[in-house]
Amino acid sequence: MTTVLVEYKDVTVSFNNEDIVKKFNLKLKKGEKVLFKGKSGTGKSTLLKLLMGFTFPSLGSINFRGKSLNCDNIWEVRKNVCYISQHSDVWEGPVIDIFKEIFSYNNNAQDLDYSKIDSLMNYFNLDKNKLYQEYDSLSGGEKQRICIILAILLPREIYLLDEITSSLDNEMKSKVINYFLEQNDLTLIIASHDSQWESNNIKVIPIGE
């Protein structure tokens, strides 16, 4: 029997007396993949941020490996979960420096695997010299792919993917989607309005209906 990794228990989130999320329940086991489907502004991102401890429930609780999230175990969660934001304008400077910075963090202490970067760049159709360009000079789609590569390299047990394919063309979109869905071990929570994510090994949860 696999244990429950993540659980949302009667979670309500309100801002200014308005419920963004209302009595939300979900149990997620290792390797399971869910898609939060709905229009923007329906609280999909909020649900993901709750697990990272970037926002907090007004009622209910979020559990990670059976323990309710608090200010101590949140740092443990952040070691195991990677949240890729829908905003890709979050880095600056040369792309290679971003790779170096992330792998200088204590939690990610490992040597940068350049051959792995190479093969991922190759897989996601990114020219090798993009690595030495300024992040700001990249297009929206290129930024999204760099963020995805950074996240994959970490590697994490759980990924929270927040509209990560919004600036990609259809071909690239399916490449990204396949990459994540093919890996049975990965636990995924995906927030997207895009039905391309729907496949037989993913559970679709409509949000905001």
Positions in the binding site for other proteins (CB under 8 A)? 52-54, 71-72, 74-75, 78-79, 82-85, 87, 89-92, 102, 104-108, 150-151, 154
Query: d(Cα 12, Cα 58) in Å, to the nearest integer?
Result: 6
Query: Which residue, 1 or 71, has its beta carbon nearer to other proteins?
Result: 71
Query: Which residue, 70 or 195, has its beta carbon nearer to other proteins?
Result: 70
- Are residues 50 and 76 in contact, defined by beta-carbon separation less than 8 angstroms? no
CB of 150 to other proteins, least distance (A): 7
Query: Which residue, 59 or 102, has its beta carbon nearer to other proteins?
Result: 102
SS3 track for 152-205: HHCCCCEEEEECCCCCCCHHHHHHHHHHHHCCCCCEEEEEECCHHHCCCCCEEE
CB of 170 to other proteins, least distance (A): 27
CB of 61 to other proteins, least distance (A): 15
Query: Which residue, 167 or 174, has its beta carbon nearer to other proteins?
Result: 167
CB of 40 to other proteins, least distance (A): 16
CB of 163 to other proteins, least distance (A): 14
- By C-alpha distance, which of 21, 30, 22, 24 is closest to 1? 30
Query: Which residue, 154 or 205, has its beta carbon nearer to other proteins?
Result: 154
Query: d(Cα 195, Cα 22) in Å, to the nearest integer?
Result: 24
Query: Which residue, 58 or 178, has its beta carbon nearer to other proteins?
Result: 58
- By C-alpha distance, which of 78, 71, 30 is closest to 51? 78
SS3 track for 44-83: HHHHHHHHHCCCCCCEEEEEECCEECCCCCHHHHHHHEEE
